[in-house]
């Protein structure tokens, strides 16, 4: 991380690098820039939503080094060199990620506002290996609020996509040295 320019008041901006959705990115941010604000305001990746801006709703969930994180609660400067995946980075070209396809198949969204965070959280929980039963899924997804009440469909989608998501994660891990 290197300092490059200054804001009013003499605060220096920092240059950091990220592996964002499979692409190397170098960005300049001020020390107070949240990951959510970087994604939406600077990089124009608007799939990640700003809900409560306090880490209570999960609408801003992204995958940081394969783990779920509320992007509204973390500063970008803390993650120089990290690997970041947003909802835009889950699909493989025109092919939806298995979790995305299952959400569509099970109509696991209504207004759709929480859906990107729900999907990223679901992919993360599969990667983390914490949830095996329906009750564990429900508990692991409890940080993602759906005001429309699509919870039964969300759980059904996750259950359907878990095996394919595990297979996909295993294949990716085997490819990496």
Q: Read off the pLDDT of residues 77-116 as tens digits, 9 standing for 90 and up.
A: 999 999 999 999 999 989 999 999 999 999 998 999 999 9
Q: Is 62 helix (H, G, I), strand (E, B) or coil?
A: strand
What predicted TM-score, i.e. pTM, was given to this entire model? 0.90
Rounded Cα distance, 4 and 27, in Å: 11
Rg over CA atoms, the chain: 17
Give the chain's mean pLDDT: 91
CB 172 within 8 A of CB 123: no
**For residue 124, what pLDDT band results from cuts at 50, 70 and 90?**
very high
Overall average pLDDT of the 39-48 stretch: 97
Which value, to the nearest 10 degrees, does the dihedral of the CA atoms of residues 165, 171, 173, 174 take? 160
CATH code: domain 2-57+73-89 is 3.10.20.30
CB 140 within 8 A of CB 67: no
**For residue 131, what pLDDT band results from cuts at 50, 70 and 90?**
confident
CATH 3.10.20.30 residue ranges in the chain?
A: 2-57+73-89
CATH 1.10.150.120 residue ranges in the chain?
A: 98-175
- The answer to whether domain 98-175 has CATH 1.10.3720.10 is no
Rounded Cα distance, 36 and 64, in Å: 12
Nearest-CA neighbor of 61 among 78, 75, 47? 47
């Amino acid at each position: 991380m290197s300092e490059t320019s200054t804001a009013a008041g003499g605060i220096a901006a920092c240059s950091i690098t990220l592996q964002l959705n499979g692409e190397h990115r170098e960005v300049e941010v001020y020390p107070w820039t949240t990951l959510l604000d970087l994604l939406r305001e600077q990089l124009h990746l608007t799939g990640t939503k700003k809900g409560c801006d306090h880490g209570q709703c999960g609408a801003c969930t992204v995958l940081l080094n394969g783990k779920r994180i509320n992007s509204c609660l973390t500063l970008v400067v803390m993650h120089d060199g990290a690997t970041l995946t947003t909802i835009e980075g889950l699909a493989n070209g025109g092919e939806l990620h298995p979790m995305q396809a299952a959400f569509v198949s099970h109509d696991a969204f209504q207004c759709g506002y929480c859906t990107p965070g729900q999907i990223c959280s679901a992919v993360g929980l599969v990667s983390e290996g914490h949830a095996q039963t329906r009750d564990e899924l429900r508990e692991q997804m409890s940080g993602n609020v759906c005001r429309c009440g699509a919870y039964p469909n969300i759980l059904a989608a996750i259950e359907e996509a878990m095996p394919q998501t595990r297979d996909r994660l295993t294949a990716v891990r085997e490819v990496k040295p």
